[in-house]
Structure 1
Amino acid sequence: LDLGGCWNLLSRPLYKDCRAEPCDCSVKTYTSHMSVGSGINPATFIMEKRTSATEYHIEASTSALDNNQSDKLSNRHVKQANVQSVALADAIAKDQPNYKSLSQFKLYAMMALCVLNGVMNGYDGSVMSAINAMDPFQDRFKIGTTGELNGAVFSIYTVGNIVGSLACGYFMDRWGRRTCMFSGASSIIIGSVLQASSYQLPQFFVGRFIVGVGTPMCATSAPVFLVEMAYPTWRGLAGGLYNVLGWYIGANLAAWTCYGTNFIPNDWAWRIPYIVQLTPATIVVSVVWLLPESPRWLWSQGQKERATAILTKYHGNGNPNSALVKLELDEIQDSLAAELELKNGHWNYKALVNNRPNLYRMWLIMLVAVMAMFIGGSVISYYLFSYVVGNILGNTTNFLIVMVEGVGIKDSSRQLLINGLNTVTSFIAGIFGSFFVDKVGRRPLFLWGTLLTGLVYIPINVLAARAEQFDKDGGTIPTAQSYAFIAMVFTYGIFWSFCWTPLQALYPAEILNNVIRAKGMGVKGFISGVASFINTYGTSVALKHIGWKTYTIFLVLHFIHLGLMYMYCVETKERTLEELEDIFNDPKPVKRSLQKTRVVIDDGLGVKVKDNA
Structure 2
Amino acid sequence: MGVESTMKSVGSELAAVLPQGNGAWFMQPHLRSLNYFLFSMIILSSANGYDGSLMNGIQALPQWNRFMNQPSGSWLGFINAAQSLGSICSLPVIAWSANKFGRKKTLFVGYFWLFLGAGLQTGARSPTMFLLGRLSVGAVTTFFSMPAALLITETSYPTHRGIATSLYNTGWYIGSTVAAWATFASRDYVGDQANWAWRIPSILQLLIPLCALPGLLMAPESPRWLTAVGRPDEARAILTRYHAGGDADSPLVTFEMSEISSAIESERLNRNSTSWLDLVRTKGNRHRFLISVTIGIFSQWNGVGIVSYYLAPTLAAVGINSVTQQTLISGFLQIWNLIFAVLAAFTVDRLGRRPLFLISCFGMLTCYIVISGLSGSFDKTGAANVGVAVVPFIFIYYAFYDAAFTPLLYGYTCEIWPYELRARGIASMNISTQTALFFNIFVNPIALEAIAWKYYLVYVGLLVIITSTIYLFYPETNGHSLEEMVHVFDGEDAVPAHSVFGFAGDEKTGAVLQVENA
Shorter-normalised TM-score: what interval? 0.7 to 0.9
Partner SS state of residue 507, structure 2: strand
1 CA distance for matches of 2:341 and 2:474? 21
Bigger CA radius of gyration: 1
Letter in 2 for 1:322: S
Residue 219 of structure 2 corresponds to 291
The equivalences for 1:86-235 within 5 A come to 86-92=12-18, 99=25, 100-140=27-67, 142-146=68-72, 150-235=76-161
Letter in 2 for 1:321: D
User: Deviations for 1:493-538, whole angstroms, at most 9, x for unmatched residues?
Assistant: 1222233322122111111211111122122111111101112233
Contact 1:124 1:215 in 2 (8 A): no
Q: Percent identity?
A: 28
2 CA distance for matches of 1:174 and 1:102? 32
- Which residue, out of 354, 358, 361, partners 2:285? 358
Letter in 2 for 1:263: D
Structure whose residues are more often strand by fraction: 1
Letter in 2 for 1:527: S
Of residues 369-378 and 456-465 in structure 1, the stretch that sits farther from structure 2 once superposed is 456-465
User: Deviations for 1:244-273, whole angstroms, at most 9, x for unmatched residues?
Assistant: 2x1111011112112222322323333322
Contact 1:93 1:607 in 2 (8 A): no
Contact 2:47 2:175 in 1 (8 A): yes
When residues 78 and 129 of structure 1 are mapped into structure 2, their CA distance, relative to the original with a 3 A threshold, is closer
Letter in 2 for 1:275: I
Residue 303 of structure 1 corresponds to 231
Partner SS state of residue 359, structure 1: helix
TM-score (norm. length: structure 2)? 0.87
- Which residue, out of 307, 328, 343, partners 2:256? 328
- Which residue, out of 478, 484, 501, partners 2:406? 501
1:434 aligns with 2:345: yes
- Which residue, out of 453, 459, 463, partners 1:558? 463
Residue 254 of structure 1 corresponds to 179
* Structure 2 unpaired stretches of 5+: 495-504
When residues 496 and 163 of structure 1 are mapped into structure 2, their CA distance, relative to the original with a 3 A threshold, is same
1 CA distance for matches of 2:219 and 2:488? 31
2 CA distance for matches of 1:79 and 1:526? 38
Residue 508 of structure 2 corresponds to 600
User: Deviations for 1:164-215, whole angstroms, at most 9, x for unmatched residues?
Assistant: 2222111211111111210012211122123323324444333332222122
Q: How many residues align?
A: 497
Residue 502 of structure 2 corresponds to none
Q: Deviation of residue 298 (structure 1)?
A: 0.7
1:488 aligns with 2:393: yes
User: Deviations for 1:70-96, whole angstroms, at most 9, x for unmatched residues?
Assistant: xxxxxxx98799747221121226686
When residues 134 and 532 of structure 1 are mapped into structure 2, their CA distance, relative to the original with a 3 A threshold, is same
Contact 2:63 2:197 in 1 (8 A): yes
Partner SS state of residue 579, structure 1: helix
User: Deviations for 1:142-185, whole angstroms, at most 9, x for unmatched residues?
Assistant: 44222565444333322111112222111211111111210012
- Which residue, out of 468, 480, 483, partners 1:578? 483
2 CA distance for matches of 1:311 and 1:238? 17
When residues 209 and 421 of structure 1 are mapped into structure 2, their CA distance, relative to the original with a 3 A threshold, is closer
2 CA distance for matches of 1:467 and 1:152? 29
When residues 81 and 257 of structure 1 are mapped into structure 2, their CA distance, relative to the original with a 3 A threshold, is closer
Letter in 2 for 1:199: R
Q: Deviation of residue 375 (structure 1)?
A: 1.7
User: Deviations for 1:352-379, whole angstroms, at most 9, x for unmatched residues?
Assistant: 2222211111111122111111122332
Q: Deviation of residue 217 (structure 1)?
A: 1.3
Q: Which has the higher contact order (CA 8 A, sep 6+)?
A: 2
Residue 462 of structure 1 corresponds to 373
Partner SS state of residue 281, structure 2: coil
When residues 452 and 544 of structure 1 are mapped into structure 2, their CA distance, relative to the original with a 3 A threshold, is same
- Which residue, out of 410, 417, 425, partners 2:328? 417
Q: Deviation of residue 349 (structure 1)?
A: 1.5
When residues 162 and 411 of structure 1 are mapped into structure 2, their CA distance, relative to the original with a 3 A threshold, is closer
Contact 1:240 1:506 in 2 (8 A): yes
2 CA distance for matches of 1:316 and 1:383? 48
TM-score (norm. length: structure 1)? 0.75
Structure whose residues are more often helix by fraction: 2
Letter in 1 for 2:444: T
2 CA distance for matches of 1:79 and 1:284? 35
Of residues 335-344 and 86-95 in structure 1, the stretch that sits farther from structure 2 once superposed is 335-344
Q: Deviation of residue 97 (structure 1)?
A: 7.0
1 CA distance for matches of 2:426 and 2:99? 11
* Structure 1 unpaired stretches of 5+: 1-76, 389-395, 405-409, 471-475, 590-596, 609-613
User: Deviations for 1:308-334, whole angstroms, at most 9, x for unmatched residues?
Assistant: 110111112211222222222112112
Contact 2:63 2:198 in 1 (8 A): yes
Partner SS state of residue 454, structure 1: helix
When residues 484 and 283 of structure 1 are mapped into structure 2, their CA distance, relative to the original with a 3 A threshold, is closer
Letter in 2 for 1:198: A
